[in-house]
Structure formats: structure tokens, C-alpha cells
Structure 1
Amino acid sequence: MANAASGMAVHDDCKLKFLELKAKRTYRFIVFKIEEKQKQVIVEKLGEPTKSYEDFTASLPADECRYAVYDFDFVTEENCQKSRIFSLPGLPTLQE
């Protein structure tokens, strides 16, 4: 497990799943949560590639904080299919 400067550990599975999303597009989104008892960030939910943005937002709890990454597909003005990964609110330790 990698340790952040805050002392909170990030479970190895978090980085593995993020790399799978980034390289293989295995998931549409990943939701991470802080496991208070274990003092670590863990994977809470994996969204299959067929899931929508609405599925993603529905997987987020209304009254608790979560970290997440979402693979957004779009078409440019030049009619090119593109994809961009967004992190909410930000997961720099996963991208390093």
C-alpha cells in the first residue's frame, strides 16, 4: 500500500483498477472511499464500460464524501471520437 503525505494509505487495488481503466478502458468509472477503521482508501464500486453518467452519479452517496474517476467519451467538432478521464475531486497519487 502506498502512503500519502496525510498518513492515509491507498490500497494497491486502487492503483491497479485505475491503470486498467486508463490503459484498457475496462471500466466507465471507479468510486473510491476512505475506510476509516483501516485508515486507507479502497475501491468501493466499479462501473462497467456500458454504464452511463447517470449510473455513475447514482452510485455516489448523497451524504458522504467519495473520490472517483470517470471515463468520458465525446465527439469533437471535427467529428473525432475522443475520451478523457476526469478525477473527482482529484487523485494525484493514483496517476504517479
Structure 2
Amino acid sequence: MAVHDDCKLKFLELKAKRTYRFIVFKIEEKQKQVLVEKLGEPTESYENFTANLPADECRYAVYDYDFVTEENVQKSRIIFIAWSPDTARVRSKMIYASSKDRFKRELDGIQIELQATDPTEMGLDVFRSRSN
């Protein structure tokens, strides 16, 4: 599975310049490569992010999560999400699962990884608990 250069470029912009709140990636089966499907502006909410994950198709996503520690320090974590809903096609789940590690290696700087089959597995409470 090839990774389009745009995926790496946009991820670097999110990481270094915080140009985006989130990025949703899609595997284009015919072209056998991962492409950027959606870029979320820094002002977009978590709800905007989850609305961009299809209910019955797999995706990869990166979310720039801002939070305040118990010591009242502002921090952020880059969270990688492998979105694989139960209703997705088996073939799609297999393709995403088998190419996930290779794709993740292309994105240098991911701090937390989540595997989610429904929205509750990647709620803000999960982000919070995994970030501390």
C-alpha cells in the first residue's frame, strides 16, 4: 500500500504548525494508496471530527488533542485512530488492519494510538485518560 506524499506533508503541518485540528485518511483500493480525505481547520470541534468518519467504512485519522494537566499545564497529544466500524465490509477491515503499521510509521510523531469500532471507543474521555 503506497502512501501519498500529501499524507506526510499535511501531517507535518498539523504536527509542526498546528495548521489542522484533524486529518482523515482513506485507502483508495483501486490506486492501492492512502490519500487525505478531509482536513479539519484548527477551530473545528471534536463533533466535526467524528461527523467526518463514515458509519460503515474504515478510515485512519489523526487528531490534535489539546488538554490541561492536573498541574494546570496546557498540552497537546497527536492521537492516531484506526476507525473500523463493525458494519464495514470485511475486506475493507482487512486492508486497513494489514496496512496500519506501515502507514503509521510514515507519520512520525504520533503519541497515542486508538483502535475504534464505535464512537464510544474514541470519545474525549478516552483521549483524556490516555493522554495523562
Q: TM-score, normalised by structure 1?
A: 0.79
Gaps of 5+ in 1: 1-7, 85-89
Structure 1, residues 20-57: CA drift from partner, whole Å, max 9, x if none? 00000000000000001111000000000001111100
Question: Secondary structure, in 3 states, of the residue corresponding to 1:51?
Answer: coil
Q: Which structure shows the bigger proportion of residues in strand conformation?
A: 1
Structure 1, residues 56-86: CA drift from partner, whole Å, max 9, x if none? 00000000000000000000111111000xx
Structure 2: distance between partners of 1:63 and 1:17: 25
Match of 2:31 among 38, 44, 54: 38
Question: Secondary structure, in 3 states, of the residue corresponding to 1:62?
Answer: coil
Structure 2: distance between partners of 1:78 and 1:55: 29
Structure 1 stretches of at least 4 aligned residues deviating more than 2 Å after TM superposition? none
Q: In angstroms, what is the RMSD of aligned CA positions? A: 4.2
Equivalenced residue count is 81
